[in-house]
Structures are given as C-alpha cells and as structure tokens.
Amino acid sequence: MQHHQLGKTGPRVSQIGLGCMGMSGMYGPSDRAESIATIHAALDAGINLIDTGDFYGMGHNELLIAEALKGVRRQDAVLSVKFGGLRDPAGGWTGFDGRPQAVKNFAAYSLQRLGVDYIDIYRPARLDPAVPIEETIGAIADLVKAGYVRHIGLSEVGSETIRRAAAVHPVVDLQIEYSLISRGIEDNILETCRSLGIAITAYGVLSRGLISGHWTKESAQTGDWRAHNPRFQAENVDANLALVEALKKIAEAKGVSVAQIAIAWVVAQGSDIFPVIGARRRERLAETLGALDASLSRDDLAAIEKAVPKGAAAGDRYAAVQMAHLDSEASAHR
C-alpha cells in the first residue's frame, strides 16, 4: 500500500481510504461483526485513512469504529470525521449547523464516542448558509490550538468557499464526490484545490454501487437511501446501467472487475486524489485492493472515456432538495 502526504500540510495516508458510512444502516441492514472485521482487514492491508461522520447512524458509526480500534495503536489510524448534519429520531435530515459553539459541541461528542484524545481531520459536512465559513473554520482552528484536532478538511464546497476557508487556516483536503459519472470537480474545483495544495478525498467512487458491477434493480433493500437518489430511479437507472455494461467490456478485456476499473480510473487522475471506498464486507475490500494493481494505459483511459463520457449519467447525484444545499454545485462556476 502506497502512502502519500494529504495535501501540502496533512498527514501521510494510504492511497485509498475506508469509508464506513454503509456500516451504520445507510444502505440497508449491515452486520456488526463483519463491519469490524472489514476495518481490521483494511488496517492489516495498510489502509490507515478511516472516514466517518458523527451523523452516520446518529453516532453508531463512531462507536463501531471505536470498538474496531480497541488494541490498535492510535497513530496507526487517521480518523477523518465530518460533523454538522442534523437528524431527528426517525432518522430524517433536518439541516446543518456550522455555528462555532455547535462545532465544539459536535467535536466533544465525537471524541467521547471514538474514545480518542484527538481527531486527525475534522471537517464540516456541508456549508451552513447562515454561518460564514470563516467562523466555522475558526472554531475548528481553536480545536487545533487546543490539541483536540490535528488537521482541517472541507466537504462539498465550491472554489470561493475553499479560498475563504484556506485564508483562515491551512486546509489539507476537500472531500467531494468524484467518479466516472460525477466529474463536476473538473470544471474548476480541482484546479482551485491544486493551486492551494489541498488534496481531494473522493467519495462515491462507485456512485453508491451503481457502477460497481454488483448492484441490480432487484438488489435494493429496505432502508436503503438510494431509493431516493435520482440515478437509481426508474426514469434513469436503465440508462445508467447501460453505461456499466459498456464499462464491463473494457474491464473484462483487462481481466479486472467493473468496480476495479472504476476505482483505478480515479486513482489514475492524480496522486493528490485519494479514493475513499465504502466497503462493508471483506470481499468488497479485497476487490478494492485489487484495483491498485489495475494500471491503466492511455489507450485504456481513452476507451473508458468513450464508454462513459463526462456528463453521461442520467439524473443528478442527489435529490433536488439536497442538491440545493451543496455549495460545490451552487458555486460550480465561480
């Protein structure tokens, strides 16, 4: 497993990270023992970047990670935590809170649930439109000075917000969706990050399983939030699965899986881009690790581009109400 510095000022992290959201019911039922075994297998394989959010399962995910990390040296895990998402007892989403006092409150609870003295990378999950980004980042900077946080990250924000945040405190990475069928960052966000020495931690690399080669219309489970995602809905899903079939032909010619070629494509976009893969089971983790051996030639990349050209996906990456809350989308052309 290769390790690189995360941005200009960040820690050294594995070439790929493990995203743990799916271990807390976001994609339907999950298995606690298998989730913990998957985290252990990731660490054994040299993956040290572990990504979570305090609102994943309303704290469940952080408690799960804490259980998995018992007996693991603290320095062997780089914990990346998103905060700010507000939820109700039924699991619904009620908004986002980026106020300084809320930032410190969220951090206190995350430190307790994770059972650690500090969080490696702490980031607002979204931009709070009611709070200047300078105030939110300033509050995290206070936590850095106090030793509770080591580094500051961002998530799903546009170029203007990135520049404003970086003017307050060094930012090590931007966590944002990036995949073969979600390439919005290429318009200007990626260039902005590179000019500031900010890495990309790319989530949704397999588009929530849509381009994994494993998901089918028959495989959806109760409680799976993808049922509300436009790309999985009836008017779009067949067109998107046709893209997967085109990608499958290239993958088979290379002797790899569809998921592996989709991950390899993101890896090939630059050493400053770190895919965060949401593997819930060891078999999916093993497939992910195999993607690192799937080097892509210029001809391969050209064939992939032809099969899945930029903008080919049917449907937005989130439902309209969520898209409206994404500064990265609203600011895409700023």
Which residues participate in catalysis according to the annotation? 56
Q: What phi and psi values does residue 123 have, to the nearest 5 degrees?
A: -145, 140
5 beta partners: 12
Cite the DSSP H helix spans in 151-297. Answer: 159-168, 189-196, 234-254, 258-267, 282-291
> What is the spatial distance between Cα 294 and Cα 271, in angstroms, rounded to a whole number?
15
Residue 261 corresponds to which tokens in the numbers above?
Answer: 């070629």
3-state secondary structure of 230: helix
Which residue spans within the chain are E strands per DSSP? 3-5, 12-14, 17-19, 49-53, 78-83, 85-87, 93-96, 119-124, 149-155, 171-177, 199-203, 273-277
DSSP per residue over 136-171, as a string? HHHHHHHHHHHTSEEEEEEES--HHHHHHHHHHS-E
| Distance, CA of 17 to CA of 161 (rounded, Å) | 25
By CB neighbour count within 10 A (0-12 exposed, 13-18 middle, 19+ buried), where does 312 fall?
middle
Please, are residues 155 and 125 in contact by the beta-carbon 8 Å criterion? yes
**What gap in Å lies between CA 208 and CA 26, rounded to an integer?**
11
Q: Which residues contact 98 (CB under 8 A, 6 or more apart)?
A: 84, 124, 126, 127, 128, 130, 131, 133, 135, 136
Spatial distance between the Cα atoms of 232 and 49, rounded to a whole number of angstroms: 29
d(CA 173, CA 151): 9
